[in-house]
Amino acid sequence: MKKKTNALTAVFSLTVMFVFLLTTIFMPKKKTSENENRPLAELPELSSDNLSEGEYTHGLSRYFTDHFAGRDVWISAQALAEQQICESIVNGVYISDSRLLDAGVSQRQVSMTYADYINRYAEENSGAVYMAAIPTSVGVYGDLLPEHLLSNSERDQISRFYDGLAGSIRKIDAYNILKMLSDNYIYYRSDNKWTSYGAYCVYRTVIQKLGFQPTSYDKYTISHITDAFRGELYIKSQYMRSKPDIIDVYSYPEGTEILSCTGTDSSGNIHECSIYNSSALETPDMYRFYMGYGYPEYNIKTSLNNDRRLLVICDDTAYCFIPFLTQHYSEIEVLSPEYMEGGIESYTDTDEYEQTLFIFGIDTLCENGEEFNSTP
């Protein structure tokens, strides 16, 4: 009996191993993963260089894992299983009952490179400079995290960042605005970023500082563009039980019209575009609906004739914020350092603007800040 079951064990397990080996090798290979929204690893090249440190095996392992037969099924099963048997942390994402949160918030360190850059910018340009550091969802909903993951909260990170800014820069306390409204749908459940409503709430304060009266909420017509948005935290954790999110558009038909929106790519070609990129809704990365063309520069002209021009320097957290600003300016210039090659000065003359608004997610401000190294 013992012998027979041993032989059977061997047959079973060998079958499993060889079936997955062969299907993994012979299955047609995909270039990108739709579920994970990223390009899949390619077969590494053999060379004496990458052999000596084991880089080749590392690449091969990456390739084998990415193209492993039935990967999508495996990893969504992993998220469910892991959440069951231990702490609810899957691939660095904390799964709470109501939303997904970034579990690595305490490991982030604020990078002062950005603060230094903004200080220098304010010194060298005569216009007024405004700065808004936007918390991510874990900043506002940090209470949902277990204590030990929250030794270094976003509130501290933001105030440390603001402490590093010169006094002449007007700082916008987005954190407390959003924190007070945390019962509303101001953050996506499956993403780090704020929703359009969250952006609107901060807009009300920002625009007053910039010298305008905010457009009141009831003037807007709100349309749900999609209710199937899966944010980056979902993509990272592949936790199927999280609810998909809604993407909204706030339109004000009686208000100012957008006459033109052009995007400039990094090689200087100008493209016609729109502040809403509907084609992104067909892709897994639906957040790119908000100006997500990947251009470093956008120029928006409106039907307003007040000759007010605004320069916005931001990351993609701010893209859903821009539409609200269009009600007040005849021209808005949007620059995104993360897509830039070279410094800001090669895109526009910063001294021409009376007002410059910096809007960044605090998570961006915590990175190493390489794209900001160029002097203004």
Residues that bind other proteins (CB under 8 A): 1-3, 5-14, 16-18, 20-21, 24, 48, 51-57, 60-62, 64-66, 68, 71, 74-75, 77-78, 81-82, 85-89, 91, 106, 146-149, 151, 238
Distance in Å, CB of 157 to other proteins, minimum: 17
Q: With contact defined as beta carbons under 8 Å apart, do 36 and 285 qualify?
A: no
Taking alpha carbons only, the member of 285, 236, 286, 225 closest to residue 100 is 236
Q: How far is the CB of 63 from other proteins (least distance, A)?
A: 9
Residue 5 or 305 with smaller CB distance to other proteins: 5
Closest CA to 312 of 296, 290, 293: 296
Which of 20, 217 has the CB closer to other proteins? Answer: 20
The least distance separating other proteins from the CB of residue 331, rounded to whole angstroms, comes to: 46
Give one DSSP letter per residue of 65-124, joined into a string: HHT-TTHHHHHHHHHHHHHHHS-SEETTEEE-SS-EEETTGGG----HHHHHHHHHHHHH
HSE, CB side, 13 Å, CA atoms: give it for residue 169.
Answer: 28
* Shortest reach from residue 250's CB to other proteins, in Å: 37
Of the pair 87, 123, the CB lying nearest other proteins is at 87
Closer of 85 and 269 to other proteins (Cβ): 85
**In terms of C-beta distances under 8 Å and separation of at least 24 residues, what long-range contacts does 317-320 make, across chains too?**
317/134, 317/193, 317/194, 317/359, 317/360, 317/361, 317/364, 318/134, 318/359, 318/360, 319/290, 319/291, 319/292, 320/193, 320/194, 320/195, 320/196, 320/199, 320/290
User: Which residue is it, tokens 């605090």?
Assistant: 362
What is the SS3 assignment for 122?
helix
Q: How far is the CB of 6 from other proteins (least distance, A)?
A: 3
- Closest distance to other proteins from the beta carbon of 58 (Å): 9
Select 131 or 138, whichever has its Cβ closest to other proteins: 138
Amino acid present at 336: S
Cα distance between residue 316 and residue 287, in whole Å: 9
Q: Using the structure block, give the residue that is written with the tokens 């200080």.
A: 119
- Quick one: which of 200, 173, 206 has its CA closest to 185? 200
Residue closer to other proteins, measured from CB, 70 or 342: 70
CB of 366 to other proteins, least distance (A): 18
Rounded to whole angstroms, the Cα distance separating 191 from 151 reads: 21
* Residue among 28 and 86 whose Cβ is closer to other proteins: 86
Query: Nearest to residue 153, comparing CAs of 173, 136, 133?
Result: 136
CB of 44 to other proteins, least distance (A): 12
Least distance to other proteins, CB of residue 154, Å: 17
Longest dimension (CA), the chain: 91
- Whose Cβ is closer to other proteins: residue 37's or residue 106's? 106
Q: How many CA atoms are closer than 13 Å to the CA of 200, on its beta-carbon side?
A: 19
Nearer to other proteins, 72 or 341 (CB): 72
